[in-house]
Structure 1
Amino acid sequence: MTYEEIFKGLKKKEFAPVYFLMGEESFFIDKITDYIIDNALPEHERDFNQTILYGKDTDIGTIVTTARRFPMMAEKQVVVVREAQNIKNIDQLSSYVKNPLQSTILVINYKYKSLDKRKAFTKDVDQNGILFESKKIYDNQIPDWIKKYAANLKYKVDNKAAFLLAEFLGNDLGKITNAIEKLTINITNSNTITPIDIEKNIGISKDYNNFELQNALGKKDVLKANQIINYFSTNEKNHPLVVTIALLHSYFSKVLKYYFLKNKTNEKVVASSLRINPYFVKDYKLASRNYNPKKLVSIIEMLREYDLRSKGFGDAGTKQGDLLKELIFKILH
Structure 2
Amino acid sequence: MAADLRPEDVTSALEKGRLAPFYLFYGPNEFIIERVLEKIRDKFIPENARDFNMEICYGGELNPSDIVNRAQSIPFLSANRLIILKKTDAYKAEQLNKFVPYLEKPVDSTCLIFLSEKTDFKNKFYRSIRAKGLAVNFSELKSYQVPPWIQSTAREIGLNIDRDACALLLEITGGGLRKIYGELEKLRLSFGDKKVKEADVRELAINSRIYTIFELMDALSEKKVAQMLSALSRFLDEEDKKSAPFQIIGMLNRQIGLLWQVKILAADNNRAGEIASKLAIAPFSVEKLMKQSRLWSHEGLKRGISLLYETDRLLKSGARTRPVLENLFLSLCTN
User: Which of 39, 51, 54 matches 1:50?
Assistant: 54
**Aligned residue number for residue 198 of structure 1:** 205
For residues 49 and 144 of structure 1, do their structure 2 counterparts lie closer, same or farther at Cα, with a shift above 3 Å needed?
closer
**Aligned residue number for residue 62 of structure 1:** 66
Contact 2:85 2:113 in 1 (8 A): yes
For residues 213 and 59 of structure 1, do their structure 2 counterparts lie closer, same or farther at Cα, with a shift above 3 Å needed?
same
**Aligned residue number for residue 211 of structure 1:** 214
- Structure 1's unaligned 5+ residue stretches are none
* Offset from partner CA, 1:130-175 (integer Å, 9 cap, x none): 32121234678656643442243332134223311x23xx62x344
Contact 2:25 2:138 in 1 (8 A): yes
- Structure 2's unaligned 5+ residue stretches are none
The 2-side partners of 1:122 and 1:249 are apart by 36
The 1-side partners of 2:14 and 2:140 are apart by 22
The 1-side partners of 2:220 and 2:309 are apart by 17
**Aligned residue number for residue 100 of structure 1:** 106
The 2-side partners of 1:135 and 1:92 are apart by 28
Q: How many residues align?
A: 316
Is 61-70 or 129-138 further displaced after alignment? 129-138
Deviation (angstroms), 1:96: 1.0
* Offset from partner CA, 1:49-83 (integer Å, 9 cap, x none): 33332223112111222222333465433323233
Contact 1:41 1:77 in 2 (8 A): yes
The 1-side partners of 2:61 and 2:229 are apart by 51
The 1-side partners of 2:287 and 2:130 are apart by 44
For residues 88 and 268 of structure 1, do their structure 2 counterparts lie closer, same or farther at Cα, with a shift above 3 Å needed?
farther
* Offset from partner CA, 1:228-262 (integer Å, 9 cap, x none): 42233244233655543553344334544555568
Residues 90-129 of structure 1 aligned to structure 2 (within 5 Å): 90-110=96-116, 112-116=117-121, 120-126=124-130, 128=132
* Offset from partner CA, 1:92-140 (integer Å, 9 cap, x none): 3121112212122212222x22342x65544532455732121234678
The 1-side partners of 2:193 and 2:39 are apart by 31
Deviation (angstroms), 1:286: 3.4
Normalization by structure 1: what TM-score?
Answer: 0.75
For residues 70 and 191 of structure 1, do their structure 2 counterparts lie closer, same or farther at Cα, with a shift above 3 Å needed?
same
Contact 2:216 2:231 in 1 (8 A): no
Residues 1-333 of structure 1 aligned to structure 2 (within 5 Å): 1-72=5-76, 74-89=78-93, 90-110=96-116, 112-116=117-121, 120-126=124-130, 128=132, 130-137=134-141, 142=146, 145-153=149-157, 154-156=159-161, 157-164=165-172, 166-167=173-174, 171=176, 173-188=177-192, 190-192=194-196, 193-200=200-207, 202-205=208-211, 209-218=212-221, 220=222, 222=224, 225-238=225-238, 240=244, 243-256=247-260, 259=263, 263-265=268-270, 277=281, 279=283, 280-303=285-308, 319=323, 322-323=326-327, 326-327=330-331, 329-331=333-335
RMSD: 3.8
Contact 2:311 2:324 in 1 (8 A): no
The 2-side partners of 1:317 and 1:194 are apart by 30
Normalization by structure 2: what TM-score?
Answer: 0.74
Task: Find the structure with the greater CA-based Rg.
Answer: 1
For residues 295 and 46 of structure 1, do their structure 2 counterparts lie closer, same or farther at Cα, with a shift above 3 Å needed?
closer
For residues 20 and 183 of structure 1, do their structure 2 counterparts lie closer, same or farther at Cα, with a shift above 3 Å needed?
same
For residues 196 and 95 of structure 1, do their structure 2 counterparts lie closer, same or farther at Cα, with a shift above 3 Å needed?
same
Deviation (angstroms), 1:18: 0.8
